[in-house]
Structure 1
Amino acid sequence: MARKTRNKSSSFADRFDSLRAAIRAGSTRLCALAAVTFLLVCVGLVWWGVPKLRTRLDQKLLDGGGLTTVSFVDAPAWFDGLRQSEVSQQVARAVGTGSTLDPHRLAKAQAALTSTGWFHTVEQVRLADNGGFIVDATFVKPFAVVRHEQYDYLVDTSGRLLPLQWPAGHRPASPHYIALVGAKEFPRGEFGTPWPGGDIAAGLELARALHQEPWIGQVAAINVSQFASSNALTLITANGGEVIWGRAPSERTAAEVPCDTKLRTLGYLYAQHGRIDNGGGRTLDLRGDLVTMQPAAVAPASTAMAQDEP
């Protein structure tokens, strides 16, 4: 009797083990089936979703008027709406009308921005929500104009040619850009090319030396035409006076008083008379120990500046 009981118990345990093994096997198959189903669902979502996302982004761009917008991080005040619009158009032409998810889109935009001449470097270009671009760049600094033939060409503090010009004498009154007149050469190259010639380099050095003076607005131009022959730079004032400055500020010689002395003389005239040319219509020579003054011999360059300066 005891043996029959043990056999029944053993048979019951075997059936239980078989059932448990079957359940485990079924669970394993269910897990595998669930994993495969999940993977297929993910693949389906990607296959269906990416084109939809691309379509939505493209549509968002079209809803914005089809324009490629370009916004700038910490843009300087002089980089106004007109400049930004011009740059945006250049970028739009470069990237074309392809998808906003084009992997080459950012690189094309960065290359187009670099070629404009308005930036020293373009550090980063990011895609904006509307399909346009957000740009982090280091801007150039417009500083002066160089008059050559019938145009005033904008340059930065180092004399690099910038992508903006005006008919001679018709540049805007603000900001105040000193004109360098009498240049002998013209840059041969793209925007960003330094203006050639020691005369322009000396004129820009003088403009930088005067830039922080309270009377800088009275200086309409610097005539560099006599620099190559006689080392003479001449300031042309807004009311037609001339101030013979002489050599470049960094060039020291016993034949001329130093730069600081010349600046003090002009500061004194400004404080006493309100004009650095002592009223205009005269030529002042700052080169010697004694400042000389005589009626201005009106040269073509100074006549043009007196008439054309806004």
Structure 2
Amino acid sequence: MAGRKRKQAELDERESPVEGGIAGVVGATVLLAAVIVAGFFSWKQWGSAVIQRSSYQLLAENVTTPEAPPWIAGDVRGEVFRDASLTDMSVLEDGLTKRICDAFEMHPWVARVNRVNMQPPARIVVDLEYRKPLAWVQVPDGMVPGRRGGWLPIDKDAVLLPDEGFQEERPELLLLQIDRLLPCGPIGTAWGDPRVAGAAAIATILGDQWHQLGIARISGVVDYSITSSLPTTRYELLSPNGKRIIWGVAPSKELPSEPNAIQKLHLLSEFVRRHGPIDNGTALGLDLRNAASVLAPRTAAQPNTQLR
């Protein structure tokens, strides 16, 4: 009997360290939970005050963006902060970079935001691309509420740009004239008329060469010479004096027998190289849909027989 009690006592002594370890773990867990709870209620009580401190507040001067191009006179960064109320945010808030990205992409002069990087302690770098005005679209009276007809600027994606705030009073750009133009959307959105997009695509192909080629306007008219269930738009290039050059359909929509947009530009460039700017010559018209007719030898006042 005495031996059995002695053995039980030894077992009790061996188990006591385990029980002590469990008690220690439980105690540490309770302490950690208490710290977390205390931290939660402390942040709930004083966190807003911390966020409002200038060292954590999102400030425009702490946000770096690429330098605005010369055609933008306004303060893009300042306008974004004002319109999106970004000064109410803290650099400690979740989702800050996404909100900054969305705010800049809403600005009509911003084409896209590539990335937003945060750098300690409170500096933010926004990598973005600005829109560039490409052409003026002629709008009739009554199309834009509160203003008379005139000209509105677009970029290469046919996105409507602000018509105020240019460094120059009115930059010299190509003019686009579309028959029965559809109303445009808000500033910073695509125009919505596919014919405007087609004219913008042609203007993009011409690039900076339009002036030296002697082109002043791009016109979009209905082409009745093409049999189709849907109306087809034919684009024409016009010189300052009104001489016409038939371009054809919008880029990437050419007929199988028709030169593509790049080939048409090369044809026009070659014609100007041989004969000088359109207004300087005596040709009555060109049809870039027919390469042979453009490159054929010309005599004075010889019209293009393909012109319709």
Indicate the TM-score class for this superposition, using the shorter chain for normalisation. 0.5 to 0.7
User: If you compute each CA radius of gyration, which structure gives the higher value, 1 or 2?
Assistant: 1
Q: Deviations over 1:208-258 (max 9, x none)?
A: 443264x74565721639x5699753122xxxxx3623222448899xxx9
CA contact under 8 A between 1:69 and 1:88: conserved in structure 2? no
Structure 2 residue 197 is matched with structure 1 residue 207: no
Match of 1:264 in 2: 270
Cα deviation, residue 107, structure 1: 6.0
Counterpart of 1:98? 88
Amino acid across the alignment from 1:161: L
Instruction: Return 5+ residue gaps in structure 2 as ranges.
Output: 140-147, 225-233, 287-292, 302-308
- Give how far 1:165 is off: 4.3
Cα 1:40–1:90 shift into 2, 3 Å: same
Q: Greater helix share, 1 or 2? A: 1
Describe how 1:160-309 pairs up with structure 2 within 5 A: 160-165=159-164, 170-172=169-171, 177-180=173-176, 185=181, 187-191=183-187, 192-194=189-191, 196=193, 198=195, 203-204=199-200, 206-211=202-207, 213=209, 216-217=211-212, 219=214, 221-222=216-217, 224=219, 233-236=237-240, 242=241, 244-250=243-249, 259=264, 260-269=266-275, 277-278=279-280, 285-287=284-286, 290=298, 292=300
Distance in 2, matches of 1:151 and 1:71, equals 36
Identical residues among aligned pairs (%)? 16
Amino acid in structure 2 at the alignment position of 1:155: I
Query: Residues 4-27 of structure 1, C-alpha deviation per residue, up to 9 Å, x if partnerless?
Result: xx95x7766555544444454344
| CA RMSD across the alignment | 5.0
CA-CA distance at 1:58 after TM superposition: 3.7
- Distance of 1:76 and 1:146 partners within structure 2: 27
* Aligned position for 1:38: 32
Q: Deviations over 1:143-182 (max 9, x none)?
A: 2223446754221224332234479x93346xxx323368
What residue identity is the alignment partner of 2:162?
A: P
Q: Secondary structure at the match of 1:163?
A: coil
Aligned mate of 1:28, from 17, 22, 33: 22
Change in 2 beyond 3 A, CA 1:30/1:112: closer
What corresponds to 1:117 in structure 2?
108
Question: TM-score scaled to structure 1, two decimals?
Answer: 0.57
Q: Deviations over 1:89-138 (max 9, x none)?
A: 23443245534255576665455444333456657666665767655667
User: Which blocks of at least 5 consecutive residues in structure 1 are unaligned?
Assistant: 1-5, 237-241, 294-310
Task: Work out the CA distance in 2 between the residues paired with 1:81 and 1:284.
Answer: 40
Give the letter for the 1:234 counterpart: L
The offset of 1:49, in angstroms, is: 5.6
Give distance in 1, aligned partners of 2:279 and 2:28: 91
1:208–1:31 Cα change, 3 Å: closer
SS of match in other structure, 2:162: strand
Whole-angstrom distance in 1 between the partners of 2:184 and 2:96? 31
The two structures have a TM-score, normalised by structure 2, of: 0.57
